[in-house]
Amino acid sequence: MGVEIERKFLVIGDGWRALGTGVLYRQGYLVASPRCSVRVRVVGEQGFITIKGATQGVSRSEFEYVIPLRDATELLDTLCQRPLIEKIRYRIPQDGVVWEVDEFLGENAGLIVAEVELTDPEQPLLLPEWIGSEVSADPRYFNVNLAQRPFREWGNTL
């Protein structure tokens, strides 16, 4: 079984922008429940399907598989819930980990979140200067929830 251990943070300032190159991600959900989610994603010219279990602290089960780009695109266009999640992801290696900074577009424009995958929930982590508040435990920031209640609908509740 695959396990994802991930922490999420809000991003402050623009100090991160020059540290990585962005890639467009389009993703949508076939299933979005508290027990599990099934996501379809297109990254560049590659398609993926991912099954994730319920989050327990900062961990959850995760199974991801490459699928044909044509299939992924058709699933996104015809079967996935709306709105789709669109974002530009920047991968930034720093202090032994890789930060993934997601600059959201569309219905989630204005939201920038950094996440980092760890090998252990208690792994020590040096936070770059552009990292703000931790939101790992706030389900509003889970992509599956951003597809159901986009950031633009939140008002001033950050």
* pLDDT the model gives residue 77: 97
Residues classed as catalytic: 29
Write the CA distances from 117 to 11, 84, 87, 114, 139, integer angstroms. 16, 23, 18, 10, 17
* pLDDT the model gives residue 50: 96
**CATH topology (fold) of 3-153:** Hypothetical Protein Pfu-838710-001 (2.40.320)
Q: How far apart are CA 64 and CA 89, in angstroms?
A: 18
154: nearest Cα among 115, 108, 114: 108
Which amino acid would we find at residue 77?
D
* pLDDT the model gives residue 64: 96
- Tens-level pLDDT at each residue, the chain (158 residues): 588 889 999 999 999 999 999 999 999 999 998 899 999 999 999 999 999 998 888 888 999 999 999 999 999 999 999 999 999 999 999 999 999 999 999 999 999 999 999 998 889 999 999 999 999 999 999 999 999 999 999 986 55
- Structural domain spans, the chain: 3-153
* pLDDT the model gives residue 60: 84
Q: Where are the alpha helices (DSSP H) in the chain?
A: 69-78, 143-148
23: nearest Cα among 96, 103, 94, 122: 103
* pLDDT the model gives residue 1: 57
